[in-house]
């Protein structure tokens, strides 16, 4: 899965951004800012994959309930908050800065913001309960 995300970052997203810029030249100036946000978002997914792998390794060794496992949970929570911030920044940029928001894009970004905010806040709340 990690290699798939890396392949998406390196090959698919730049090709998709270039094709969108060719298809819609009036929005070509958005190619690189949106590409950077997409690459960072996929990077957040990769961090969560690595943290999940570390937690699974700790589970296999029977060390999952040690305090150092909470560090990986904290990494996952922080990454979810970063992904939420990236989605919110893209939403603000497209809606107010570039005025290039179509209804499907707006709906997708709002859904991504709500989903990642709910996920990160639930994980943070569960993590606080376990640590106390």
> Which residue segment(s) compose the domain that 83 sits in?
1-130
pLDDT-derived band at 117, boundaries 50, 70, 90: confident
Pick from 5, 7, 11: which is nearest to 43 by CA? 5
pLDDT digits (tens, 9 = 90+) for 56-111: 999 998 888 888 888 898 899 899 889 888 988 888 888 777 777 677 877 888 88
Global pTM value: 0.77
- Calculate helix-pair angle for 13-23, 31-60, nearest 10 degrees: 160
SS3 80: helix
Structurally, the chain folds into a number of domains equal to 1
Residue pLDDT, tens place only, 19-39: 989 998 888 888 999 999 999
């Amino acid at each position: 899965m990690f290699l798939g995300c890396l392949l998406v970052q390196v090959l698919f997203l730049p090709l998709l951004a270039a094709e969108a810029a060719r298809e819609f030249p009036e929005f070509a100036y958005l190619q690189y800012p949106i590409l950077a946000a997409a690459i960072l978002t996929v990077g957040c997914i990769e961090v969560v994959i690595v943290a999940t792998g570390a937690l699974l390794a700790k589970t296999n060794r029977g060390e999952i309930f040690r305090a150092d496992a909470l560090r990986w949970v904290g990494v996952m929570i922080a990454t979810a908050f970063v992904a939420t911030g990236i989605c919110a920044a893209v939403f603000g940029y497209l809606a107010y800065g570039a005025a290039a928001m179509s209804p499907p894009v707006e709906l997708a970004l709002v859904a991504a913001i709500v989903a990642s905010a709910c996920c990160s806040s639930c994980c943070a709340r569960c993590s606080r309960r376990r640590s106390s």
